[in-house]
Chain A
Amino acid sequence: MVFNFAVASDKHHEHKKYDHEYHHNDKYKIGSIEIEGVYTFITPPNAKVAAGYMKIENEARKADTLLSVTNVSFAEKVEIHEMIMENQVMKMRPLLDGLNIPGDEEIYLKPSGFHIMFIGLKEPIAKGKMYKGTLNFKNAGSITVNFKAVDRGYHPDKDHHKHH
Chain B
Amino acid sequence: MLSKKILLRRILPALFITSIVLTVIAFFALQKSSHNLDRVDVNFSLETVNGDQFNQDKLLKKPSIIFFGFTHCPDVCPSSLQLLSNLIQDLGDDASKINFYFVTVDPDRDTKKILKEYLGYFDKKIIGITGDKAELNKLYGALNIYIKRINLDNNNYTIDHTTSFIILNNNAEIIGTMIHEGFSKLLVIDNFGKIQFPKEEVKKNIIRLLQL
> A residues engaging B (CB < 8 A)?
1-7, 12, 19, 41, 43-51, 77, 81, 83, 85, 88-94, 111-112, 115, 117-119, 152-153, 155
A90→B163 contact, CB < 8 A: yes
Q: Which residues in A have their C-beta under 8 angstroms from that of B146?
A: 89
| Per-residue interface assignment for chain B, residues 40 to 78, with 1 indicating a CB less than 8 Å from any chain A CB and 0 otherwise | 000000000000000000000000000000011111101
Q: Contact residue range for chain B?
A: 35 or more
A50→B74 contact, CB < 8 A: yes
Q: Which residues in A have their C-beta under 8 angstroms from that of B119?
A: 44
Q: Which residues in B have their C-beta under 8 angstroms from that of A152?
A: 78-79, 82
B156→A5 contact, CB < 8 A: no
With contacts A44-B121, A46-B118 known, is A112 near B180, CB below 8 A?
A: yes
A48→B152 contact, CB < 8 A: no
User: B182 — nearest CB in chain A belongs to which residue?
Assistant: A19
Number of A-B contacts (CB under 8 A): 112
Q: List 24 A-B contacts (CB under 8 A).
A: A2-B36, A2-B37, A3-B174, A5-B179, A19-B182, A19-B184, A44-B117, A44-B118, A44-B120, A45-B117, A45-B120, A46-B118, A47-B78, A49-B72, A51-B74, A88-B162, A89-B161, A90-B73, A90-B160, A90-B162, A94-B152, A111-B184, A112-B76, A112-B182
A3→B160 contact, CB < 8 A: no
With contacts A47-B71, A49-B74 known, is A5 near B180, CB below 8 A?
A: no
Q: Which residues in B have their C-beta under 8 angstroms from that of A6?
A: 189, 193
Q: In the bound complex, what is the Cα–Cα distance between A111 and B38 (angstroms)?
A: 32
| Per-residue interface assignment for chain B, residues 172 to 183, with 1 indicating a CB less than 8 Å from any chain A CB and 0 otherwise | 001001011011
Q: In the bound complex, what is the Cα–Cα distance between A90 and B105 (angstroms)?
A: 12
A85→B114 contact, CB < 8 A: no
B164 at the interface (CB under 8 A from A): yes
B211 at the interface (CB under 8 A from A): no
